[in-house]
Amino acid sequence: MSSSTSSIPRSPAADPDPPQQKQYTGPEYRALVAAPLDPLVHPDPRNPPRLYRLIRRIVRWLVLHVFRMTITGVENIPSPPYIIAANHQAWFDPAFIIPFFPEAPMIYTMAKRETVFNRGWKRRLLPLVGVFPISPHRGELDEAGLRTVYQILERGGVVLIFPEGRYSRGRALRPLKVGIGHFALQAGVPISPVAVQGTDVLRPISRVDVTIGPSIRPDPPAWWTVGQKVAQVVENVQRAISTGLQRRRTRRSEP
């Protein structure tokens, strides 16, 4: 079944711009990026595997033909490297985000090492589609996962993060974890805020709205403490996603 679509921009050209120059990098970032890359991570984000490209194109075709998609703000996508920060309504949210960003560089997502990378075939397949392993503790990334995030950004890649930490089905945006601000500050890269609505009650021909807000750059005053800088970045991301969600709710309520 195919449904009508509206406000769907053409997919951005793959990797149209050279990587942006980082404003700065923090000491934690510099210490971790020099370590060997986890063998379960695709090493070259600027050259995604064919499988990744194929799946991305198939998923894009499917979501555009099965659901009523509205995508706004594609012009706000920054030059890589950057972090995508999105609200999280369902496990398949990446399928409604990744296809509407450029095909290259690769967009990486994370999954638990112990429960997702627990079979040989998974360890061979998942790196080819941009998934890398983490072992979180109490909602915080382990050092290996943190190192991988920084190494992906150092190589010019993009990391998709859901900073709420868990699903917010049918609820307002949850308070965001401070890690998103910490990553951006240490790596000196912008955050692309994304608001997704409609995936919590998904069914064929239902409406899904995706709003990509203006990028948030980690450049608070130099005299602020690290804690203040992180808090400001997190607050900016929370505000941007909430604004995107409110914009879609307003449009839905219009006759």
* pTM, entire model: 0.85
Burial grade of 119 (CB within 10 A; 0-12, 13-18, 19 or more): exposed
Q: Which two tokens stand for residue 242?
A: 């909430």
In a domain, 129, yes or no: yes
Question: What pLDDT, on a 0 to 100 scale, did the predictor assign at position 157?
Answer: 97
In whole angstroms, give the CA distance from residue 235 to residue 206. 31
Rounded Cα gap, residues 129 and 109, in angstroms:
9
- pLDDT tens digits, 61-75: 999 999 999 999 999
What CA–CA distance (Å, rounded) separates 86 from 117? 24
**Residue 85 lies inside a defined structural domain of this protein:** yes
pLDDT at 221 over 60: no
Report how far residue 36's alpha carbon sits from residue 34's, in angstroms, rounded to the nearest whole number: 7
What confidence category does residue 169 fall into, taking pLDDT thresholds of 50, 70 and 90?
Answer: low
Sign of CA dihedral 176, 181, 183, 184: positive
235 within domain boundaries = yes
For residue 121, being part of any structural domain is answered with yes
Least confident segment among 43-52, 60-69, 132-141, 234-243: 132-141
Can you give the CATH number for the domain in which 97 is found? 3.40.1130.10
Domain count, the chain: 1
User: Is 157 a member of any domain?
Assistant: yes
Q: What is the residue range of 239's domain?
A: 27-250
| Structural domain includes residue 75 | yes
Strand duo 191-197 + 207-212: pairing: antiparallel
DSSP for residue 252: H
Residue 239 has pLDDT above 80, yes or no: yes
The verdict on residue 162 lying in a domain is yes
Structure tokens at 147: 């190192």
Residue 220 lies in a domain: yes
Higher pLDDT, 60 or 26: 60
The mean pLDDT of 35-55, rounded to a whole number, is 97
